[in-house]
Structure 1
Amino acid sequence: MGDFKLSASLLGHDDDVRGVAFPTPELVLSASRDATVRQWKLTSTKPPTFDCTLSSHGTAFVNSVAFVPPSNHYPEGLIVSGGKDTIIEVRRPDRSPQDNAEALLLGHAANVCALHVSEDGQTIVSGGWDAEARIWRVGHWEAATVLQGHDGSVWGVLSYDKDTVITACADKKIRVWNVSGKLLRTIAGNPDVVRALCKLPHGHSSQADFASAGNDGVIRLWTLGGSQVAQLHGHESFIYSLDVLPTGELVSSSEDRTARIWKGNQCIQTITHPAISVWSVATCPKSGDIVTGASDRAVRIFSRADDRQARPEDIRAFEDSVKSSSIPQQQVGDINKEQLPGPEFLQQKSGTKEGQVQMIREPNGNVSAHQWSNAAQQWVNVGTVVDSAGSSGRKQEFQGKDYDYVFDVDIEDGKPPLKLPFNLSQNPYEVAKKFIADNELPISYIDQVANFIVSNTQGAAIGQSGESQTQAPGSDPWGSESRYRPGEVGAPAVPESRPKVLPQTQYLKIVSGNLKAMQKKILEFNEEFLNSGSKDAALNPTGVNILSATIKQLDQAQSSSKVTEGSPALKEGVELAVKIATTWPVEKRLPGTDLLCALAASSPSLATFTSSGSETIIDVFSDAFANTEKPNHALLAIRGFANLFNTEEGRLIMDGEFDKVHVLLKPYVADPGKWHRNLIIAITTVFINYTVMLSASSSASASDPPSRPNADRALTLLDDTTKIINSATDSEIMYRSLVAAGTLLTLGDDFRSAAREVFDLEQCLSRAEKTVKEPRIKGVVAEMRDELGG
């Protein structure tokens, strides 16, 4: 049987491709950190060509995707995806991202990192960072069986058959469950985090039932009874994904840049990628082709069939891209260049096994990596080894100073990463606190940034060079990358010296809108008005120019994180956005409200806006609450309320309109579980900002207690936040509610007494600890108990 060769490269994602599925020869699915799920449909066969359409476009990264096969009820099948927003989205393939999803599966409290659909298409299994797996019945979306008892993130799930589910966990254990939720057995003995699972076909040569793999780079074959049958060695780093070919051969993908094909216990082919991580691999059950998703943003299909392979020049281009790629030195370990052989080795010595890697000292002093191919019986150049931050053995320079580490921190797609310098002599929490303050980031990132520093410097001691630094196995859920994204870090041990969170002293803003997308959507709707003859609603050429100038000014303001004082473009932009958000048809107002939300954080002009009818911006935002069937409008308005606190003028109007704002938010607080988490997060952010205002007012009046109106307001907010704490399961909602309530406790004894005697806050805190087991929750609860006991 021939080697797999490139069939097609599918380009279109703007960030790492985290998940792939290959349900039919004509359809590939991919999920990415760019917050999209894409469908790739075969349009021609020679050479294979695929057309891309968006299935879903969210606001946070997506890292798992699966396909429910067609049935009588769903003749086109269903696309299932999950990621950072904790929601599992179920969509029909023939619907656009603007259409409603078939179902939104709620229950996970943290990132959904694994999905698997049963062979009969009746069951979906999910795994998440909340240490839970869930079993969902297709078509009966409301109820899920929860698999609890894991002591870490559930990285892999497998619906083995109609009665059995298997989970793989960061606690190094594999668990076998009955679909009713009963734990049948726990398989221990794995030396590291288990990330991937795959069912083996009946009659597999190993007589094993399933395979597992993870951070130790070894594939293990198991019986359902828990007996280990075999180990497959060859990968040189974390293994992220497993699947099985129709032939019974295994396929794996890894942080070592490769996908590998295994027959029996032997690796028979290694496919090296021009990327650091091959995050996911899937096989097509009908064609036997393979698809991979990688950190270079590409989806690639490989085939053994000559008639499904790419043109020779495209295959050569792929091979050349592998040869020219750079390999971080931290991925290959310590290298003594003087002891490496020269290029003549490649002609004199053969490899001993498929995928063996040999380092070569080039005449120019560089080190190149070569991989042995059994099929070609030769060494294949797979890249050049280069130094990388934190592993080069040298200090890293940043702003004129030397540091042991300078990490890249990606905050927003399309913008340069922020630099996070760190010396081993520093306290990770103090560095994280300063980094967050310097870059005006949400306080909720402090534990994540500190944990990232700890996990990527663990094992290093003061005075060590980078060459001797090691990383704790499994501490970073993405692998060994030195690039960090807030929200993507696991939970290694927390340093004991934590800075105090309470009282919160900084106002928070929520600037998450895509300005270019807002502009594009407004112009699309405007074109529809012009084409239909609705010129009264349409923007004139001057209005289009104002929109362009406003977007440009906002982009500059967001890039610099500074308020733009008195910009004429933003003053005119406010009036334009108000017109769109209040006079356009309701179904077309959303981008206008989104634009107002962005303006609230960057321009005092929004807070001072008054219409000819004496309406303020609060009244304008109030219009968004009129249609309860469209909660996204209210979500953006609430974000606008939060962002108004970013300017002095905005704080004045939010202070004066507290009662009006509270009336608008009250229905959502009464039943927070009914609404999307992002809406409740926005409300808790508004509450935090009001408590910061109260705390500042209390501090300004020295030892005097808060005034009666402020005291009433504080008690109202204490009532609201305790209601949310008593119902929340989402970690971010819980944390922000606790910070708001905790800040209120610092206002004085009257409020601490009310918290104890009226609102039974101790019961709330106990519930919070049991519901969300995160270090930041534990920390703020401890601070609140100190306040209550004071």
Structure 2
Amino acid sequence: MPYKLSATLSAHSADVRALSSPTNDLILSASRDSTAISWQRATDQPGFVPSNVLRPSSRYVNSITYIPPSADAPKGFVVTGSQDTIVNVFALDKAKDEPDFSLIGHTENVCALNATPNGTIVSGSWDKTAKVWKDFKLAHDLKGHQQSVWAVLAVDEDKVLTGSADKTIKLWQQHKAVHTYNGHQDAVRGLALITDIGFASCSNDSEIRVWTFGGDLVYTLSGHTSFVYSLSVLPNGDIVSGGEDRSVRIWRDGECTQTIVHPAISVWAVSTMPNGDVVSGCSDGIVRVFSTSEDRWASEADLKEYEDKVAGQALQAQQVGDIKKSDLPGPEALQIPGKKPGDVKMVKNGSIVEAHQWDSASGSWQKIGEVVDAVGQDRKQLYQGKEYDYVFDVDIQDGVPALKLPYNITENPYSAAQTFLQNNDLPLTYVDEVVRFIEKNTAGVNIGTGGNEYVDPFTGASRYQASTASTGTAPASAYMDPFTGASRYISGSGSTPSQAPSSAHMDPFTGASRYSGAASVPAPTTNILPVTQCNTFKQANVAAMQSKLHQFNEGLQNEISTSSLAMYPQEVTAIDEIFAYLGQTIATPPQQPSVTLTAAHVEAIIQVLSRWPTSQRFPVIDLSRILTGLCPRVLDAPGLKDRFFEALFKASDWSDPWSPPPPKPRETNILLLLRTLVNSFQERAGLEDGAWPTRVFESLSQAPYAVLTKTQRVALATVLFKFVFSTKPRAPRPF
């Protein structure tokens, strides 16, 4: 029997992001309306009714799982994770506002949860970690992924699977990563155990993969046409998946046996019941139950209403592929049966293009919507493992690789601008220009939850626009880079939104209308020679730098193949002391450093540079840049300066063949090396030894100027500038 609608659960007011259905009579749902609901099967009527509405957070609740009954909780526990970074645990036997336990440790959105029958909880977060909690206390911190952990699965009490936006899956034995599975081409979003085989994974690459725990790929399931967000497994072993293409799909023996189309674009979550029913949670805020048991099917009237909603949907063109209306057949083409479940056929019915899907259970084509031209962005943009409404390319200077500016339309533009400037070591004096740029290039975007707008439960950002009148794309003339003033961005749509009202240009801190009228970007200042001032490279986000360095170190430490490269305990101590010194030095007001840096601290940097992989050296080289600028006399020990810069040149692969374009890690490392030299000359470090600058410039001369990027050329010119000015006589300065 095919799956048909069994029940519709309507109580959430926004996207249903996560589900759990541990028994035939209990469904747990989490939503971006800041609630989690436990639904109990009704005894006096068909379907389910809310039995407990939990409010674990004032922000979006993005993950949920269940712990079976125990002496402390006769009805079990519900566990929730949300944007507030906290994992909350509620006993279901009594309704209350406050959780029984709050598990604190994550630093960003908790987007994935799973639990064992014995109550061990596994959580995954945007902070790139997963955590294992036993007896509601942190037992293991799983660090090694390079981007957000979007999927977690407890294999047993000691083994855990994690899936990440870095496209990998890791198997952990307690706190050690014992295997890494590579194969997906995009972020891994869901995991599920497959009895007697291993496990299944789904991804933004639109594929589902079934693996053995040994790492063998058993088979790949292809059929979804967009992101696949969630997986579950039926009691008979069939796989259930839900994704961005409005569908839930049932898979048996490597083939799709049924496609259940939904009247909503995003099927964020799927879950299965012991009786074989399937539960889905969607971007329209509704939980739906589907069953193969005829006695649990909804009434004929409800089934007809559901089919009409599906048929009445307007599909974006990119959901069903590129089409040319003049080449489409008429309705008579629907007399030819489909080849397999889920086949989509488009026909021209007068001036309307209809999409129909083959339903093998009924042996007929079912209308799933009318095809319209796509509006807005094709899909959310991924940047460093997270989803954003926009990821802008920002030109700092002509010829220099663009920097990435991620932004969600619900963000405070000042916060986004400040984060962008700090991450890219740019002066905060640019913050107003970047804010104007954000406001200008996102003008006309409407956000909300009504109509056809769907809101991403991770970020709260509107992904879909309600009409072609508001595409979310600024007019071509509005896309002006905040640094160069160039019109880099061209609208891909013929329609253009109206300008944001002047009231939108309000200071986010005071509420004052600081920016009125059009948020125009001033024309770039003309460069005039001679240059009388040059760049400085002493800006630093010490905390972020330290976090990144430790993240890389823990990644090396947790992999058996790279554990020998990780820092030794004495090196960790020395590096942390350097960070403590720098943090106190640049504090406002400056603090008296609690440690004195010595040659041993520099030796620790040299040793780490000599072992770490090229792609992970940049925070160590960046640390060298700041150390040279703020504590130059630490290099005064005989021979230390030579060995230090020799290590930096080697770490940046300076002597390797120069073939354009250089790999991105090498490009970054070379830029940081040049900036370290700038700081050294700025502080006159090493200039007492007349031979040392000669050796440096001999090394610099090896690089063909044409291969350097514009940013590297600026840094190289600044090295020369600083050297010339630093060798001029000047009053001695205290150190």
User: Same fold by TM-score, threshold 0.5 exceeded?
Assistant: yes
Seen in structure 2, the aligned counterparts of structure 1 residues 350 and 59 have a Cα distance that, compared at 3 Å, is: same
**Corresponding letter in the other structure for 1:380:** Q
Find the aligned partners of 1:779 and 1:63 in 2 and give their Cα distance. Answer: 37
Q: Is the 8 A contact 2:11 2:286 kept in 1?
A: yes
Q: Is the 8 A contact 1:48 1:309 kept in 2?
A: no
Seen in structure 2, the aligned counterparts of structure 1 residues 783 and 12 have a Cα distance that, compared at 3 Å, is: farther
Find the aligned partners of 2:549 and 2:91 in 1 and give their Cα distance. Answer: 28
Seen in structure 2, the aligned counterparts of structure 1 residues 728 and 334 have a Cα distance that, compared at 3 Å, is: closer
- Partner in structure 2 of residue 661 of structure 1: none
The answer as to 2:194 corresponding to 1:200 is yes
Find the aligned partners of 1:362 and 1:191 in 2 and give their Cα distance. Answer: 38
- Partner in structure 1 of residue 162 of structure 2: 167
**Corresponding letter in the other structure for 1:172:** K
Seen in structure 2, the aligned counterparts of structure 1 residues 317 and 449 have a Cα distance that, compared at 3 Å, is: farther
- Map Cα deviations across residues 252-274 of structure 1 (whole Å, 9 max, x no partner): 11111100111222211111001
Find the aligned partners of 1:358 and 1:236 in 2 and give their Cα distance. Answer: 14
- Partner in structure 2 of residue 512 of structure 1: none
SS across alignment from 1:240: strand
| Residue 59 (structure 1) shift | 2.0
| Residue 372 (structure 1) shift | 0.6
Seen in structure 2, the aligned counterparts of structure 1 residues 742 and 236 have a Cα distance that, compared at 3 Å, is: same
The answer as to 2:96 corresponding to 1:102 is no
The answer as to 2:355 corresponding to 1:361 is no
| Residue 147 (structure 1) shift | 1.7
**Corresponding letter in the other structure for 2:120:** T
RMSD between superposed Cα atoms in Å = 5.0
TM-score (norm. length: structure 2): 0.57
Stretches (4+) displaced over 3 A:
94-97, 388-392, 418-450, 476-484, 497-500, 557-563, 600-603, 721-731, 741-747, 754-760, 777-790
Find the aligned partners of 1:438 and 1:132 in 2 and give their Cα distance. Answer: 26
Find the aligned partners of 1:335 and 1:248 in 2 and give their Cα distance. Answer: 37
**Corresponding letter in the other structure for 1:320:** D
Residues 311-350 of structure 1 mapped to structure 2, 5 A cutoff: 311-347=299-335, 349-350=336-337
Find the aligned partners of 2:355 and 2:422 in 1 and give their Cα distance. Answer: 35
The answer as to 2:367 corresponding to 1:381 is yes
| Residue 447 (structure 1) shift | 7.7
Find the aligned partners of 2:503 and 2:118 in 1 and give their Cα distance. Answer: 45
Seen in structure 2, the aligned counterparts of structure 1 residues 291 and 729 have a Cα distance that, compared at 3 Å, is: farther
Q: Is the 8 A contact 1:63 1:83 kept in 2?
A: yes
**Corresponding letter in the other structure for 2:70:** S
- Partner in structure 1 of residue 113 of structure 2: 115
Q: Is the 8 A contact 2:232 2:272 kept in 1?
A: yes
- Map Cα deviations across residues 299-340 of structure 1 (whole Å, 9 max, x no partner): 111122222222211111111111111222233342222222
Seen in structure 2, the aligned counterparts of structure 1 residues 338 and 727 have a Cα distance that, compared at 3 Å, is: closer
| Residue 369 (structure 1) shift | 1.5
Find the aligned partners of 1:323 and 1:433 in 2 and give their Cα distance. Answer: 34
SS across alignment from 1:73: coil
Residues 388-787 of structure 1 mapped to structure 2, 5 A cutoff: 388-390=374-376, 443=417, 446=420, 482=463, 745=586, 751=589, 754=591
- Partner in structure 1 of residue 200 of structure 2: 211
- Map Cα deviations across residues 354-375 of structure 1 (whole Å, 9 max, x no partner): 11111222311x3222111100
Find the aligned partners of 1:5 and 1:437 in 2 and give their Cα distance. Answer: 40
Find the aligned partners of 2:13 and 2:625 in 1 and give their Cα distance. Answer: 41
- Partner in structure 2 of residue 124 of structure 1: 121
- Partner in structure 2 of residue 188 of structure 1: 182
- Partner in structure 2 of residue 515 of structure 1: none
Seen in structure 2, the aligned counterparts of structure 1 residues 234 and 310 have a Cα distance that, compared at 3 Å, is: same
Find the aligned partners of 1:111 and 1:302 in 2 and give their Cα distance. Answer: 30
- Partner in structure 2 of residue 231 of structure 1: 220
| Residue 746 (structure 1) shift | 9.4
Seen in structure 2, the aligned counterparts of structure 1 residues 560 and 481 have a Cα distance that, compared at 3 Å, is: closer
Find the aligned partners of 1:52 and 1:448 in 2 and give their Cα distance. Answer: 47
**Corresponding letter in the other structure for 1:369:** A
- Partner in structure 2 of residue 62 of structure 1: 61
| Residue 294 (structure 1) shift | 0.7
| Residue 290 (structure 1) shift | 1.3
SS across alignment from 2:121: strand
Find the aligned partners of 1:728 and 1:231 in 2 and give their Cα distance. Answer: 35
SS across alignment from 2:371: strand
**Corresponding letter in the other structure for 1:338:** S
TM-score (norm. length: structure 1): 0.54
Q: Is the 8 A contact 1:67 1:77 kept in 2?
A: yes
**Corresponding letter in the other structure for 2:81:** G
Seen in structure 2, the aligned counterparts of structure 1 residues 785 and 327 have a Cα distance that, compared at 3 Å, is: farther
| Residue 82 (structure 1) shift | 0.9
Q: Is the 8 A contact 1:172 1:188 kept in 2?
A: yes
Seen in structure 2, the aligned counterparts of structure 1 residues 232 and 422 have a Cα distance that, compared at 3 Å, is: closer
Q: Percent identity?
A: 37
Seen in structure 2, the aligned counterparts of structure 1 residues 121 and 729 have a Cα distance that, compared at 3 Å, is: farther
Q: Is the 8 A contact 1:5 1:303 kept in 2?
A: yes
Find the aligned partners of 1:375 and 1:107 in 2 and give their Cα distance. Answer: 48
Q: Is the 8 A contact 1:21 1:30 kept in 2?
A: yes
2:285 paired residue among 282, 288, 297: 297
| Residue 449 (structure 1) shift | 13
- Partner in structure 2 of residue 283 of structure 1: 272
Q: Is the 8 A contact 1:18 1:33 kept in 2?
A: yes
2:255 paired residue among 262, 266, 271: 266
Seen in structure 2, the aligned counterparts of structure 1 residues 430 and 88 have a Cα distance that, compared at 3 Å, is: closer
Q: Is the 8 A contact 1:55 1:93 kept in 2?
A: no
Find the aligned partners of 1:424 and 1:483 in 2 and give their Cα distance. Answer: 24
**Corresponding letter in the other structure for 1:106:** I
| Residue 191 (structure 1) shift | 3.1
**Corresponding letter in the other structure for 2:288:** R
- Map Cα deviations across residues 158-191 of structure 1 (whole Å, 9 max, x no partner): 112234222222222222222x222222222333
**Corresponding letter in the other structure for 2:290:** F
- Partner in structure 2 of residue 50 of structure 1: 49
Find the aligned partners of 1:216 and 1:440 in 2 and give their Cα distance. Answer: 33
Find the aligned partners of 2:95 and 2:113 in 1 and give their Cα distance. Answer: 22
Seen in structure 2, the aligned counterparts of structure 1 residues 129 and 219 have a Cα distance that, compared at 3 Å, is: same
- Map Cα deviations across residues 474-496 of structure 1 (whole Å, 9 max, x no partner): xx988998459xxxxxxxxxxxx
SS across alignment from 1:344: helix
Find the aligned partners of 1:778 and 1:388 in 2 and give their Cα distance. Answer: 46
Find the aligned partners of 1:198 and 1:325 in 2 and give their Cα distance. Answer: 31
Find the aligned partners of 2:408 and 2:35 in 1 and give their Cα distance. Answer: 33
- Map Cα deviations across residues 644-679 of structure 1 (whole Å, 9 max, x no partner): xx99xxxxxxxxxxxxxxxxxxxxxxxxxxxxxxxx
Q: Is the 8 A contact 2:36 2:56 kept in 1?
A: yes
Q: Is the 8 A contact 1:30 1:39 kept in 2?
A: yes
| Residue 218 (structure 1) shift | 2.1
Find the aligned partners of 2:21 and 2:543 in 1 and give their Cα distance. Answer: 45
Q: Is the 8 A contact 1:259 1:272 kept in 2?
A: yes
2:138 paired residue among 124, 127, 143: 143
Seen in structure 2, the aligned counterparts of structure 1 residues 9 and 142 have a Cα distance that, compared at 3 Å, is: same
Any gaps of 5 or more consecutive residues in structure 2? 382-387, 425-456, 466-480, 485-501, 515-540, 552-578, 606-611, 631-678, 683-735
- Partner in structure 2 of residue 553 of structure 1: none
